Amino acid sequence: MPTIPPATSPIWADLVSGRRTATLEFLAAKILLARLRLQAMNGAADAASLARQLRDLYASNAELPAARRDLTTLEAGGGA
């Protein structure tokens, strides 16, 4: 099973800010990421909090196949 990067890992903030893109399979993450990006663009919340929300979603659902595939992709540095 892939490891879940810590909340302080730049991968989460980069995904939320749009500096990094990835082809995600986990539908809940796709929906949450879209919402988090809007919040980041509007300055509605601090970047660390938004990144933590995305990481927490994966931590809570790491046993799901789609979430595991996303984590493997992110771990390998893959993206779109």
Provide the pLDDT for residue 78: 58
Domain boundaries, the chain: 10-75
Q: pLDDT tens for residues 8-63?
A: 999 999 999 999 999 999 999 999 999 999 999 998 788 899 999 999 999 999 99
- CB contact at 8 A, 77 and 21: no
User: According to the model, what pLDDT value does residue 14 have?
Assistant: 95
Return d(Cα 65, Cα 11) in angstroms, integer. Answer: 20
Q: What is the pLDDT of residue 43?
A: 85
pTM: 0.90
In this predicted structure, the answer to whether residue 80 has a pLDDT above a threshold of 80 is: no
> How many Å from the N-terminal Cα to the C-terminal Cα in the chain?
22
